[in-house]
């Protein structure tokens, strides 16, 4: 295996690469290429024997050609570093596409487990203590796979994953080998980050940790933060952050050692991170001038602006100092947070539209105000002028403020006749 004698089996557990994902519209493939190179370097430095990838290799079921190229290069680097690779599919992946040419790939040390049929057909690798059976359970969409498990009642994630594990345990009992299961699921007790795609069915998306009982190590994927559900049941999390909610996470991979009796050691090997994430808050001038933000220059930036008036061209100006700024939000001051009725009371339609233009750009010119009034005439007709003392005034009175106004943004009167 990998041209060296394996003593204690050493496993690297990773998942949720999401190759091809964008971050607020920014292409991440160059960062993801470096991330996979970092994993390959860990494989070489730590003499890892097997890399287990627990799903969501890609971010989309039909990945781009560039994403496939990054995947191919990353696998090549990991294999060259000396490891066999076991991959299963996640809810973002296409099992058919990811599992293409699996028999051929296995000859080169890439073992793809993306189908229900292969759940109880492990990848068996040996160390000095004998065989280790690696089972891959792809993401199981309950309605799509219920028939394959002979489940006829309304089916859940718990039901199909429980059925899958029954098959795994039946095979493992016959083999008598140490066992590793890679699965893509939301296990009860785990914490999501908000950047994962929901897999809820009937409002329920979790499965019990006890579903995996009897397995030496369970390598989970789907959730993006590294976490321990039980001593030998863990999420690796994504190796790089995919939302600002993940900026405090310790991104990494689990290194798992096995001896004759099972797991002897599990430790998190932290990844340095390709690029940091920072959430900044202040006025635009503060963010552009204050030295306390200097360390965030090369980070992906989301900025909340607290200026009294919305700054013009804020993103362009931010990117002069923070070239990787990806999101900016102006927080309206509390004093300006009026309800709709309060904001338009006593204003004409033309004034309301002019104020909107001023909020999103700057104050309209006289020519633009004239254009607004002409547009209003096209939409709602000429303003209704009620002559004082006119005999055809209907059931309501018309105040002086109503004289000569359009009705596009009219409010109901506060007091209504009984």
Q: What is the structure's pLDDT at 401?
A: 43
pLDDT in tens, 153-191: 778 889 999 999 999 999 999 999 999 999 999 998 776
pLDDT in tens, 195-224: 555 554 344 478 999 999 999 999 999 999
Name the region of 202 (left: φ>0; alpha: ψ -120 to 50; beta: rest): left
| Cα distance between residue 11 and residue 337, in whole Å | 55
pTM above 0.85, yes or no: no
- Measured on CA atoms in the order 27, 29, 34, 38, is the torsion positive or negative? positive
Give the confidence band of 407 by pLDDT, cuts at 50, 70, 90: low
Name the residue ranges covered by the structural domains of the chain: 9-270, 277-336, 340-402
pLDDT exceeds 90 at position 52:
yes
Q: Which fold has domain 9-270?
A: Purple Acid Phosphatase; chain A, domain 2 (3.60.21)
Closest CA to 349 of 361, 357, 360: 357
pLDDT in tens, 17-43: 999 999 988 999 999 999 999 999 999
Q: What is the structure's pLDDT at 165?
A: 96
Closest CA to 237 of 83, 110, 54: 54
pLDDT in tens, 302-345: 999 999 899 999 999 999 999 999 999 998 776 555 566 666 77
Percent of the chain scoring above 70 in pLDDT: 84
Q: Which helix (H) or strand (E) holds 126?
A: strand 123-127
Q: For residues 223 and 237, is the Cβ–Cβ distance under 8 A?
A: yes
Q: What is the structure's pLDDT at 136?
A: 97
How far is the CA of 344 from the CAs of 43, 198, 386, in angstroms?
64, 40, 22
Average pLDDT, the chain: 86
Pairwise pLDDT comparison (390 vs 373), residue with the higher score: 373
| Cα distance between residue 48 and residue 70, in whole Å | 21
Q: Report H helices in 291-380.
A: 314-321, 340-344, 349-360, 366-380
């Amino acid at each position: 295996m990998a041209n060296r004698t394996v003593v204690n089996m050493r496993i690297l557990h990773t998942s949720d690469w999401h190759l091809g994902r964008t971050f607020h519209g920014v292409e991440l493939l160059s960062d993801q290429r470096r991330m996979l190179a970092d994993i390959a370097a860990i494989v070489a430095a730590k003499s890892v024997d097997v890399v287990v990838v627990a799903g969501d290799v890609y971010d989309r079921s039909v990945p781009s050609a560039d994403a496939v190229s990054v995947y191919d290069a990353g696998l090549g680097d990991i294999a060259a570093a000396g490891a066999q690779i076991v991959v299963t599919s996640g809810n973002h992946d296409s099992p058919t596409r990811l599992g293409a040419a699996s028999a051929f790939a296995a000859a080169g040390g890439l073992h793809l487990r993306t189908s229900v049929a292969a759940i109880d057909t492990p990848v068996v690798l040996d160390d000095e203590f004998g065989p280790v059976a690696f089972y891959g359970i792809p993401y199981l969409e309950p309605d799509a796979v219920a028939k394959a498990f002979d489940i006829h009642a309304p089916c859940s994630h718990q039901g199909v994953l429980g059925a899958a594990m029954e098959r795994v345990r039946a095979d493992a009992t016959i083999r008598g080998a140490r066992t590793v299961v890679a699965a893509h699921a939301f296990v009860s007790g785990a914490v999501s980050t908000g950047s994962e795609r929901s897999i809820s069915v009937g409002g329920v998306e979790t499965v019990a940790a006890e579903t995996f009982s009897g397995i030496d190590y369970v390598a989970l994927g789907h959730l993006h933060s590294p976490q321990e559900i039980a001593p030998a049941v863990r999420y690796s999390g994504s190796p790089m952050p995919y939302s600002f909610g993940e900026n405090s996470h310790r991104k990494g991979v689990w290194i798992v050692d096995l001896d004759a009796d099972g797991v002897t050691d599990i430790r998190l090997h932290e990844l340095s991170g390709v690029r940091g994430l920072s959430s900044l808050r202040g006025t635009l001038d503060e963010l552009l001038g204050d030295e306390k933000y200097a360390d965030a220059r090369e980070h992906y930036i989301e900025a909340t602006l607290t200026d009294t008036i919305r700054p013009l061209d804020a993103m362009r100006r931010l990117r002069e100092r923070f070239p990787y700024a990806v999101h900016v939000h102006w927080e309206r001051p509390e004093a300006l947070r009026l309800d709709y009725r309060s904001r338009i009371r006593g204003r004409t339609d033309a004034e309301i539209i002019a104020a909107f233009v001023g909020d999103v750009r700057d104050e309209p010119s006289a020519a633009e105000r004239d254009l607004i009034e002409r547009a209003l005439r096209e939409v709602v007709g000429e303003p209704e002028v009620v002559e004082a003392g006119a005999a055809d005034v209907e059931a309501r009175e018309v105040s002086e403020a109503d004289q000569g106004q359009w009705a596009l943004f009219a409010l109901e009167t506060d007091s209504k006749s009984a």
